[in-house]
Structure 1
Amino acid sequence: MDRDAGLSIAYVNYGFQSGVTERVIRALGSRGHRVASLDAVGPVEHRRKGSRRLRIDGQVLYNLAAAFAKFGRQAAHYRWNTTFAFDAHSRHAGELLAALPAQPDVVLQAGALFAPGLPPPCRYVLLLDNTRQLAMERPPEPSVGLGAPPDYGPGWRRREEAVYRGAWSIGTFSGRVRRSLERDYGVAPGRTHVVGAGANVLPEVVERCHDGETILFVGTRWELKGGPVLARAFERIRRTRPRARLVVIGPSRRPALPDGAEWLGYVPASELPAHFARATVFALPTLREAFGIAFLDAMACAVPCIGTAVEAVPEIIEHERTGLLVPPGDDAALAASIERVLDDPALGRRMGDLGRLQVEASYTWEHVAARLERLLAPPALPLLPRETSVPVLPAAAANEVVQQPVAPSAPAAAIAPPR
């Protein structure tokens, strides 16, 4: 590999992924690497990409039947999570890799919904925001119609574990995922590395022009992100603060909102900084959260954050420093925390400023690309240090960043998910 030419990377992914796919590709490209984006999803999809017209063939029908047998009325939601879909997507990923003009230096794969080929044709690195074991540990949320997360079964577990064990190295969004890989799947500690994630919104100049009374929510899944909890908390706040406002961005349909709340629906990412500028506090009382990029977006705009102490959120929001954490589903605690920030402008400014500094120091996609670069470089020719050192993640994740990969116990290309 020519060091100056950068790496040839095949990024095997599963589509938009909340903007992660586009930003990872762009950030790696800005560091001089050549990245080919390969979307492995498609063989078992019942709608055609783009047109959304129905597409029915043998593979689609078989997978839907398998999903219905496994997941019942949730079959459509979990259609990618049958062993048939895993193998179909894995074969498709291998076909996409084989169709490239030349074999890449390395494959970077998002998630573990499939393998990068059966077997993988070359060395690969994973980028993960969650594991299935962690997802299964989530408690049911009957208040929003969520039962206990389903078990995908032993066949899925064997495939998932094989993908982890076959990877040259694994980069994770959070320390929580890194620990799960080692504890639940037996991945050697030297092969797991926290690379973090980046803010999707990062204005060069921070503007703050709020009225001291505005609460902002940004999230497409109103119920899952704790929207009803926030609505109840807002009703409490309005009893003593009649001028308080709640702005809701993201849900495609207007949710049930109390007086004083405004629903804006979908807002392009390019317009979000203006809404963050007018927000006194950002509140996202999410019930489940593998990571939480929306918090990074708020912090990048110097807005103090109120979140819940669930999953990876405490790795992002430093309680009492960049924001406040409350128990999930507790509208009284949420209302009290929001009012605390509204009542203390100096506290809000301090938390917002510290949040912006934290994003600038560690949570941009350029930081993620720099950390990933260390994992992607061929073992015989590691990339030399660049002019700036790789930033280190703050707080809980700081001691979990490992710079150099350690060889797996078996060649990646020889490992394929078992049937």
Structure 2
Amino acid sequence: MRKIGFFTLTPSPPAPPANARTLAALRRALPGCEIEVIEVIPRLKRAPLAYGTAAAVAAATYAPDLLRGNKSLRHAALRTPYIFRWIKGMAARVARDSNFDATFQMQSLFDASAPGIPHYVYTDHTHLENLNYGAAGAAAMYSKAWIACERSIYRNAETVFVRSTNVAASLMRDYDCPEARVACVHAGSNAATPAAPADVTAPGQRKTILFAGIDWERKGGPTLLAAFRRVLARHPDARLRIVGCAPDTGGVANCDVVGRIPLSEMPGHFASAGIFCLPTRREPFGIVFVEAMWHGLPIVATDIGAVPDMVVPGVNGALVAPGDATALADRLCALLDDPALAARQGAASRRRAEDRYHWDRVAARMVARMATAAET
């Protein structure tokens, strides 16, 4: 391939760092290919009538959820058939005028396919996968008309690349995607990866439990706080470090609330912790787990979504049911009780990351699939 169109919603930043990581990895994997970036939202903003109409349609479609605060107008505007058709038309014109040999899009919120041009999607979710998260997922659902639009994204793709096996299963189960058009290629770390994990020997470091997430409620923060109270009864010198948000911890001892930080500072927090814990309630993927694995940390998390792909109980951590503070405390204490167990599981995390969750390996899997498709 000589030229590929790389479609993304927003520039990076503020787009998720995975967008830039994916683009860079594809460029390394295809050194002789020109990859042109097309940013959807800036083009939409240059069409004020379309942008305003999208907001009006979303306000009418999702009024009850918007009034209850369950959805934001900005996100809802992207989940209407009106704006879906606008983006599809724009993308097809760009692809045709640019003479792309293939098109590639990040996530499945729009359709950048064009007739006669092989198209690839890389996503960490399907909308219907939300139904597997109970009430937390039900609140995130959008209209049947939007789901019909999403279904067409996968129908028009040569291959849908996904980050995890649960999303691959959803594509086949919920969207009738043939198995031959779905490929699980995983994902890499957004934060810088260390040449080798830190040697967790200092007691203060070994007994530090790290939580990293912006959405305290959705990421299971209250459950972790309840579990940590139980942990302190057995390990009064344990510490909980909370990065990414600044919740009220209710006076629980030994809690260090760091708050929102730049991504560049995350490696230092991974390196100074002994356990990573994120008992999330709903998670499209969770690249923070990958980052914890690269830093050689044992992981205690919940058995939902993509997490079981990354955390194998008894190998590199433990999994509990969402909301189960008692089980969470028991799993954390098992690691605090046995430093040798924590060290073995941390080393297994690092090996799993090196084997599976490396951006260059991800891109190589994609490019091999694209090359095979081009030959047929």
TM-score scaled by length of structure 1? 0.79
Report the residue type matching 1:292 in the other structure.
G
Higher relative contact order (CA 8 A, sep 6+): 1
Q: Which stretch of structure 1 is more off in the superposition, 230-239 or 9-18?
A: 9-18
Q: Does 2:34 correspond to 1:34? A: yes
1:25 aligned residue (16, 20, 23): 23
Q: Greater CA deviation, 336-345 or 131-140? A: 131-140
**Moved runs in structure 1, 4+ residues, more than 6 A?**
54-57
Counting only pairs closer than 5 Å after superposition, residues 233-252 of structure 1 correspond to structure 2 as 233-251=227-245
CA distance in 2, matches of 1:162, 1:56: 21
Change (3 A) 1:322 1:207: same
Match of 1:256 among 230, 249, 255: 249
Tell me which of 133, 141, 149 is aligned to 1:150. 141
Q: Distance in 1 between matches of 2:262 and 2:160?
A: 31
Match of 1:169 among 156, 159, 164: 159
Unaligned runs of 5+ in 1: 2-6, 49-53, 382-406, 408-419
361-370 vs 239-248, which moves further: 239-248
1:205 is matched with which residue: 196, 199, 212? 196
Per-residue CA deviation, residues 18-53 of structure 1 (Å, 9 max, x unaligned), is 3110000111111214322222235667xx9xxxxx
Contact map agreement 1:42 1:89 (CA 8 A) in 2: no
Cα distance in 2, alignment partners of residues 218 and 339 from structure 1: 19
Number of residue pairs matched? Answer: 361
Q: Counterpart amino acid of 1:291?
A: F
Following TM superposition, by how much is the alpha carbon of 1:259 offset from its aligned partner in structure 2, in angstroms?
2.3
Distance 2:356 2:115 in 1: 32
How far off its partner does 1:315 sit?
A: 1.0
- The residue that corresponds to 1:62 in the other structure is 56
Q: Which residue of 2 aligns with 1:113?
A: 109
Describe the SS at the equivalent of 2:135.
coil
> What amino acid sits opposite 1:156 in the alignment?
W
Contact persistence 1:125–1:375 (CA under 8 A): no
Cα 1:67–1:98 change in 2 (3 A) is farther
Specify the alignment match of 1:387 in structure 2: none
> Are the counterparts in 2 of residues 28 and 369 from structure 1 also a CA contact under 8 Å?
yes
Q: 1:134: which partner in 2? A: 129
- Give the corresponding residue for 2:150: 160
CA distance in structure 2 between the aligned counterparts of 1:61 and 1:293, rounded to whole angstroms: 31
Matched, 1:196 2:200: no
Moved more, 267-276 or 313-322: 267-276
Aligned to 1:311: 305
Residue type matched to 1:371 in 2? R
Between Structure 1 and Structure 2, which shows a larger proportion of helix residues? 2
Conservation of the 8 A alpha-carbon contact between 1:197 and 1:368: yes
1:245-294 deviation line (CA, Å, top 9, x unaligned)? 1111112x444352211111222233222211111100000001122211
Q: Contact 2:311/2:317 (CA < 8 Å) preserved in 1?
A: yes
* Aligned counterpart, 1:8: 3
Aligned to 1:417: none
Contact conserved, 1:218 with 1:249, CA < 8 A, in 2? yes
Work out whether residues 118 and 157 of structure 2, in 8 Å CA contact, stay in contact via their aligned partners in 1: yes
Q: How does 1:261-272 map to 2 (within 5 A)?
A: 261-272=255-266
Alignment-mate amino acid for residue 341 of structure 1: L
Contact 1:133 1:184 in 2 (8 A): yes
Quick one: distance in 2 between partners of 1:151 and 1:272? 33
- Segment of structure 1 superposing worse, 241-250 or 369-378: 369-378
Which of 65, 85, 88 is residue 86 of structure 2 equivalent to?
88
Deviations 1:127-168 (A, max 9, x none): 121111111332004xxxx75442421x22322222211111
**Other-structure match for 1:218:** 212
What per-residue deviation string (whole Å, max 9, x for no partner) do you get for residues 193-248 of structure 1?
A: 11111122311132234522111011111110001111111111122322111111
Q: How much identity, in percent, do the aligned residues show?
A: 31
- 8 Å CA contact 2:106–2:123 kept in 1: the answer is yes
1:140–1:148 CA contact under 8 A, matched in 2: yes
TM-score between both structures, scaled by the size of structure 2: 0.88
The answer to whether 1:324 aligns with 2:315 is no
Give the CA deviation at 1:60.
4.6
